[in-house]
Every structure is written in structure tokens, then in C-alpha cells.
Structure 1
């Protein structure tokens, strides 16, 4: 057996500076993907919507696999959500980016569902070694 104990029982350690910069970069990329997706989804309706959601899914899953943690999927999802929510607000001049069509609602709800799915599929904290397997 391992001397470390359960991974859940250990105190949380703050991320290193390099990892924190990586998460901030993923957050910014998520905001860029959200802004680009909001423009593409209405321009080419059926294909643009699928392209925008696939871009978000690729970024979230790539972030999770690249960092080896679920936080790698949550950071770009947070940036995506912030950008999309800021873009849904109307301006004082009356300008707006999202119309009241079905595609806009599918983009908003589908993007949130994609973020949750990607964060769920992302790898969680797993202890390593043979001592953590049952029967060893």
C-alpha cells in the first residue's frame, strides 16, 4: 500500500505559476472561440452552429487532455460563457449580436451542454502506481 493515503484526503495545493498561466491562456482561448462561434453560428446556420459547437468541444477536451485535469476543460468553458453572455447584452444604441431565432438558443444551450459534457469527460485526479489498484 502507498503511504500517501487517499488523494481525496490530501490538502489542495495551489497550481504552479506555469500551470496558472496555462489556465489563463485556456480561458482567453475560450473567450475567442465563444466570440468567433457567435458570429459563425448565425452566418451559416446549420453548418456554422455545428462548427461553433465542435470548436468549443475541441478546445475544452484538448485543454482537459493537455493539462491532465478537469480544470483544463473548465477554464475554456468559463471564457466561452463569459464572452457569450457579454455578447448577448444589447447596447444602448439598440444593436445586438444574437437574434431571437432557434439557432441562437441552440448555440447558447448547446454550448453550455458541451462544456458540461467536456468537463465530465476530462480526466480527474487519479493516483498513479500499482499500489492503488485493487488486489495488488
Structure 2
């Protein structure tokens, strides 16, 4: 370690602060709740409920990206949704299940994963204020 680096948050790896970690945990909890609500709505009001559930997830993930100004925010919300969806999709020992075997359930699971990945990776994250990188400005 040279140049006075203490190894914690300097260089290539910069650890997020406590406030940002709390925001990510809160977004994961919101994603979990969105997954629970979406799994109930998608089966109850097919096909409108499926569209509503996927739009809610897209709004949460994209809003998380804009709120945190980092793609990790969208990934945290999507991870919370994925955990809820997978837990609810599992069969119970009593034979109870929440998802029926049908196109709606598969569209919710696969479409939700696609929406979360798209919202967390595609949008351009706003850049912090600073000098323009364009030449001639």
C-alpha cells in the first residue's frame, strides 16, 4: 500500500455509506412487497393483473435507479422481487401453491425477471455535475 491509501474505500473499490446501504435494503423490501402483491394480482385479474404487476415492477426498478442515481438501486429492488416470487412459487408440503401451472404464471416470473434486468441495466444513469467531456465546450 503506497501513497497513503488505507485500503478502505480508496482506489477502484469504494464502499457505499450507511445511508446508501439502508436505501438499498429499503428498496429490496419494497421489491419484496411488490413481488407479493404482483403474485396475487396477476392470477386474480388475468390478463390485466399481469400487466399491472409487471408495470409496478418496472416503475419500482426504474424509480430506484433514478432515486439512487446508481444501477444498484434497480438491482436491489429486482432482487427483492425475485426472492418473493421464488418463495411464493415453491410448493408447500401440504400441497398448497400460489401459482397455477399456466401461461400467466410463467409470463409473470420470466417477464418480471426480464423487466428487472432491463430496468437495472439499460437506462442511462444521470451523471454528477462536472465539466463537460465534449470537446469545444
Q: TM-score range by the shorter chain?
A: 0.7 to 0.9
Stretches of structure 2 lacking an aligned partner (at least 5 in a row): 1-10
Measured after TM superposition, the shift of residue 132 of structure 1 is 2.9
TM-score (norm 2): 0.86
**Secondary structure in 1 matching 2:47:** helix
After TM superposition, list the pairs within 5 Å mapping 1:54-73 onto structure 2: 54-73=55-74
Paired positions, count: 127
Tell me, yes or no, if the aligned pair for 1:65 and 1:123 is still in contact at 8 Å: no
Equivalents in 2 of 1:134, 1:69: separation in Å?
A: 26
Q: CA deviation at 1:122?
A: 3.6
Q: Distance in 2 between matches of 1:25 and 1:52?
A: 19
CA RMSD of aligned residues (A): 1.6
Query: Residue 28 of structure 2 contacts residue 77 of structure 2 at CA under 8 Å; is this kept in 1?
Result: yes
Aligned structure 1 segments of 4 or more residues deviating by more than 6 angstroms: none
Kindly indicate whether the alpha-carbon contact (under 8 Å) linking 1:64 and 1:73 is maintained by their aligned counterparts in 2: yes
Does the 8 A contact of 1:73 with 1:122 survive in 2? no
Whether the aligned pair in 2 keeps the contact of 1:65 and 1:122 (CA below 8 Å) is: no
Alignment match, 1:115: 116
Whether the 8 Å CA contact 1:64–1:123 is kept in 2: the answer is no
Return the alpha-carbon distance in structure 2 between the equivalents of residues 62 and 131 of structure 1: 26
Q: Which residue of 2 aligns with 1:40?
A: 41
**Cα contact 1:26–1:63 (8 A) shared by 2:** yes
Instruction: Write the distance in 2 (CA, Å) between the matches of 1:28 and 1:90.
Output: 23
Moved more, 68-77 or 122-131: 122-131
Shift of 1:125: 7.8
Cα shift at 1:29: 0.4
In structure 2, distance between residues paired with 1:39 and 1:94: 18
How far 1:12 moved relative to its partner? 2.0
Distance 2:116 2:42 in 1: 17
